Structure 1
Amino acid sequence: MINFEYLENNLDNLRVKYLAAQPFPHLVIDNFCDEEKLIKAYNSIPELNNKSRDYAFANNKFEKSNYKELCPELEELHSELLSERFNKILSFITAKNIFVDPKNHGGGLHQGKKNSFLDMHLDFNYHPINKNWYRELNLLLYLNKDWKTEYKGGLRIKDLRTEEETEIGVPFNRLIIQQCAPYTLHGYDMTNFPENRYRTSIATYAYQIHKRHIEEPRTTDWFPKENASFFKKQLAKNYNFLVQTKNKFFGSGTAKNQ
């Protein structure tokens, strides 16, 4: 399913592109999967109805964690993303010893419907169950057939240290590998897709094992727009405390999402 030969024949070039990218390390890989198989996978995806847990900072965003059950092609993709072969490629590109989460906690199939958006944010840093796993990468595979810039929904990434920002298109069969760090903001603006077409992606996360915590464990940190409501701004300001309090009594929603 994954075009392993292309990746393995271009490792040095991919590493340089990732490490040298601005505003922070990231990498765009087109034709990541076998096109014919990915089209079959795309055609098997139904309209989702499980609303994202990010509902306070997102609009019309839905998800399915166990996407591999939809068709054999997605099961194959899931298996290859978790493989040792792919972990070795990621480790070489990033120059770090990292691995994809075998349970894919918090990941899965994401679908943005009409007027979907996702506010800029920093992802949680340490794994909700394996407390010494540090989140190093977001792997985002886009399934937007015949995507055009006017459909919007491109991935916005911004360095919180420098305020430098860029936007990356999200066409079909494009993988974006994005560094996760305490300054790697990302999100997307309100979409303008045609009727019955959705902003679709598969999200997977990769980790490094830390002997000790280098950061205070956090949940997602949100950065709503300046014109956001007072309520949303206050919720963003206190979100980490509220989620950690909720997790203490009811458990982590991310940990339950496999």
Structure 2
Amino acid sequence: MIDFQKIETTATTLAQKFHAAEPYEHVIIDGFCDETQLLQLYDEIPDPIENGINRSRDYMFAKNKYEKSGFKEISPRFLELYSDLMSNRFQQCLKLITGQPVFVDPAFHGGGIHQGGPGSYLDMHVDFNTHPEHKEWFRNLNILLYLNPNWQSDHKGELKLRHKDKPHQTILVEPIFNRCVIMFTRDYTVHGYDAINFPQGTYRRSIAAYAYSPLEETNTQHRSTVWYPESSGAVKSTVGRFWPTLVRIKGQLFGSSTGKNK
């Protein structure tokens, strides 16, 4: 389903764009998949409410955001996309573009189908840096494939990219259908999206894959998601600042709850 030939023949240009991008390393690939097949896959996306799909575990930092990591069982088309994302060929494409030797998490922990309902938002944040269940895996890349046919600017929900040390520079990426964003996951790669205004009965949809590398530094400090909410009260800002500590304590007591969003 992924248009590998297109990616491979333009890999050098994509790599140049990735490393030169502002506010930090990322690249946008339009026409990432075969359009006809992806439209057919889109029609098979389960409604999150009708199908009892779990909301994200981001608590006060997200609203009406549903996650389903086990998407490969939905249909043969979803299995094909999953297989493409897991393939050695895709790993090689990622290495050519980013220079990173990576592999995609086969369990899609925290990833898979993401759907934002009415008023959905995701506060600005930087992601956890090691896999919650595999501490020897360094989270290296985010791969975000957007599935929003007929998206219009008044629907909002653009992906916001901001460097932690450059708070006044924000890049907006429109979440249009069949657009893929590949970006570094570092302590400076702040991102999120503002409250959406999608038409009634529709969702802000994407498929998120996370690519990892073997962790080489044994003294790495494991970090959970760090939140940088905008236009929030003192309580939310304070909770965001201490969130990694709270998550670490909760994880020691109860394990990772994100893994339950199958």
**Normalising by the residue count of structure 1, what TM-score does the alignment of the two structures yield?**
0.96
- Provide, for residues 195-227 of structure 1, a one-character-per-residue CA deviation record: whole Å limited to 9, x for no partner: 1111000000001112214642111000111x3
2:248 and 2:13 mapped to 1: Cα distance?
41
CA contact (8 A) 2:146 2:176 kept: yes
Aligned to 1:6: 6
Q: 2: distance between equivalents of 1:128 and 1:255? A: 9
Letter in 2 for 1:149: S
1:23 maps to which residue? 23
The count of residues paired between Structure 1 and Structure 2 equals 257
The runs of at least 4 aligned residues of structure 1 exceeding 6 Å deviation read none
1:211 equivalent in alignment to 2:213: no
C-alpha contact (below 8 Å) 1:128/1:254 kept by paired residues: no
What is the match of residue 253 of structure 1?
257
Unaligned runs of 5+ in 1: none
Once the two structures are TM-superposed, the CA of residue 74 in structure 1 deviates from its matched residue by 1.1
Q: Is the 8 A contact 2:155 2:199 kept in 1?
A: yes
Alignment of 1:107-146 (within 5 A): 107-146=111-150
Match for residue 171 of structure 1 among 173, 176, 198: 176
Structure 1 counterpart SS, 2:106: coil
Name the aligned partner's letter for residue 22 of structure 2.
Q
CA distance in 1, matches of 2:109, 2:200: 31
Q: In the alignment, which residue of structure 2 is the partner of 1:228?
A: 232
- Quick one: which of 137, 157, 161 aligns to 1:153? 157
Q: How far off is 1:255 after superposition? A: 4.5
Relative distance call for 1:98 and 1:250 in structure 2 (3 A) is same
1:67 aligns with 2:74: no
Structure 1 partner of 2:47: 47
- Aligned-pair CA distance for 1:130: 1.9
| Match of residue 102 from structure 1 | 106
Contact 1:55/1:61 (8 A) holds in 2:
no
- What's the Cα RMSD here? 1.3
Query: What runs of 5+ residues in structure 2 fail to find an aligned partner?
Result: none
The separation in 1 between residues aligned to 2:141 and 2:38, in whole angstroms, is: 22
1:117-164 CA-partner distances (Å, limit 9, x unpaired): 100001000111221211111100000011111110000010002222
1:204-257 alpha-carbon deviations (Å, 9 max, x no partner): 0001112214642111000111x3123212211211111100110111123555
| Alpha-carbon displacement from aligned partner over 1:73-99 (angstroms, at most 9, x marks no partner) | 111001110110000110111112111
Q: Secondary structure at the match of 1:13?
A: helix
- State the identity %: 45
C-alpha distance in 2 between matches for 1:210 and 1:245: 23
What does the per-residue CA deviation read over 1:33-73, in whole Å, with 9 as the maximum and x for residues that have no partner? 11111111110112213111113101111111111222211
After alignment, is 14-23 or 95-104 more displaced? 95-104
